[in-house]
A and B are shown apart, each in its own frame.
Chain A
Amino acid sequence: MAAFCTMKKYYLFMILFIISCTQKVNVVELAEQFAELECKAIMLKDKRYVLADRLREIEMDTVTNRKELDSLNKIIILTKQESLSLADSIKTQLDDLFTHHLKDPSDRVAFNNHLRKVIETKGCMLH
């Protein structure tokens, strides 16, 4: 009986060991969670470029309305602040993902590929 129990423990240990070794990182789930933040970052990036284009147009315009320029500059400052704060959050989350979940480079590449798919589905890109 004792020998049977020892054997059972041994098999249980082996099964758990094999499961833990073969358990794949769920890159799909991680990418889907991360996509929320990345989507915001993409939209903010696109917004920054739209604002920069508008700013250039206004700057080159000789009859620029001073008020419009001032209000545009205010929006640009706010957008930059929002972008910087979001960049910090993304960096922190990404470091955490890479340190604890995506340790293997191939998992990171798979994560990145899936992230692209999720974001394309979400439709948060301008082009």
Chain B
Amino acid sequence: MISNILKFTYSKNLAASIILSFLALILFDSCTKDSSDQLSKTTEEYSADFILSYYDQICKTVKTTQGFFPPQAARAYGYIGIAQYEAVVNGIENAKSLQNQLNGFASFQLPTPIQGELYNWAIASNAATARMMKYMFDKNLTPANRLKIDSLEIFYHNQLSAGEEVSIVSRSQAYGQNIADVVYNYSKTDGGHESYLDPFQLPYSVPSDPFCWVPTGAITTPLSPRWGNNRPFLTSNIQKVQPPQHMAFSVATNSEFYKEAMIVYNTVTNNTSEQIEIAKYWADDPFATCTPAGHTFNILAQILKEERATLAKSSLAFAKMSLAENDAFISCWKGKYDYILIRPVSYIQKYIDANFKTVIGTPPFPAYTSGHSCEMGAGSRILSSLFTNGSGDYQFTDYSQLQYGFFARSYSNFEEMAQECADSRLYGGIHYPIDNSKGLQVGKAIGDNVNKEIIWPLFVR
């Protein structure tokens, strides 16, 4: 009897505990579901269309804003890229803020998302990017460009807010704006703040040694002589990658220096029409194009579009390129004013042929090393890391110069493209071969540093 009762009680308890466990499981499961429903959408779930539109607008703004020469343009792209990345970084799995990774950034307190609250990372990015753009061009921003940025911001804010809770919209927007404010404060301390107001950093006196730069046109002082003192995003990009001393200056016909100048002279004299086209294709003159850095960003944007990259991948890509381009110009400009090397046109006209003419205009700053080679060397390494297994092999056609009257050019490797860009400066007659080879070397080292020294998220779509 007792055993029967016990059996009954036991089986009743067993049944009850099974039912309870089942209920607990349902409850737990529903709780889990609830909490996962409470997570913000990841950055990978958003389209990158809006951010790509901003990069089109940055290019247009660079072309039409006074004072944005190549170094100034690269800096603007640089800080805008950081702001847009920081605005979405918390929505990317395993991504880490740049705050404690960039030189001098740790002392600026970035806002952090409120625990348990939902965010729309696209709205945050839209707000951060628009505000950062206005900051970076600030005093010289034309009313027309300001209006275009405002229009973009409103258009995309409305589009991205559709169907979203009002509290999420306002929280995300404020978060993005706060990010921009902090990144802007950080930018103010790098030495390049508002440099567009005085891009030639006057007064500056060029030494009068025979190896030194002399004016090659109406501009009598070289561009941004103190740019190399700016704070880079990565210290190693200055300390570890400076170019070696160039060959000793000499006018002796059997000297290395003379031979380098003769290569320029002979190349320009015997240029093919293809080489002339290449020289002009990569020239990227300020105020007619969005400068060399802008060209590289245009290529990146085109590939991201073709790859249908998400907001996460695009933000990561622009951030990497931003660091590389900004630092490439600082590093390159440091070398330029450490050596202040005379341009080929000045040397050739004085010591080889007074009637020598270059294919394109010589920019108003020293030769060693080539800015184009530095920036495209860095850019090629970033592109390789983003779209290849490191080999750089990638079939693509650059359509970005059609707008300036050039046919699109095709490449099968990013390094091949960088080499052509570097060679274009020789074809143009404005750089010695060593300016290009060492510039590429410096640029690639900078790109590698950016890829390796920063903790970037892996496997981002």
Contacts and interface: CB of A to CB of B under 8 A. Distances in A.
Among A43, A49, A88, which residue has the most Cβ atoms of chain B within 10 A? A49
For the complex, would chain A's binding face be called helix, strand, loop or mixed by DSSP majority?
helix
Contacts of B404: 41, 45, 83, 87
A91 B306 contact: no
Contact of A91 (B56, B217, B273, B405): B56
Contact of B397 (A45, A109, A127): A109
Contact of B406 (A45, A94, A105, A109): A45
B218 A59 contact: yes
A80 B287 contact: yes
Contacts of B407: 112, 115-116, 119
Contacts of B288: 48, 80, 83-84
Contacts, number: 65
Given A56-B217, A105-B306, A127-B273, A49 B402 contact: no
B361 A46 contact: no
B239 interface: no
Contacts of A86: 403
Among B306, B404, B410, which residue has the most Cβ atoms of chain A within 10 A? B404
A49 B280 contact: yes
A54 to B, nearest CB: 11
Interface string A77-118: 000100110111011001000100000010011001001100
Nearest to B63: A84
A59 to B, nearest CB: 4
Given A59-B217, A59-B218, A108 B405 contact: no
A119 B405 CA distance: 11
A52 B357 CA distance: 12
B408 interface: yes
User: Which are the 10 A-B pairs with shortest beta-carbon distances?
Assistant: A45-B405, A41-B405, A87-B403, A42-B405, A90-B403, A59-B218, A112-B408, A91-B403, A59-B217, A127-B273
Given A56-B217, A112-B408, A88 B397 contact: no
Given A56-B357, A84-B64, 17 more contacts: A41-B403, A41-B404, A41-B405, A49-B360, A52-B360, A56-B217, A56-B361, A80-B287, A80-B288, A83-B288, A83-B405, A84-B63, A87-B63, A87-B404, A90-B403, A108-B399, A127-B273
B454 interface: no
A44 interface: yes
A16 B365 CA distance: 63
A53 B64 CA distance: 22
14 contacts: A41-B405, A45-B406, A49-B360, A53-B357, A56-B357, A59-B218, A80-B288, A87-B403, A88-B403, A91-B56, A94-B399, A105-B306, A108-B397, A108-B399
A113 to B, nearest CB: 9
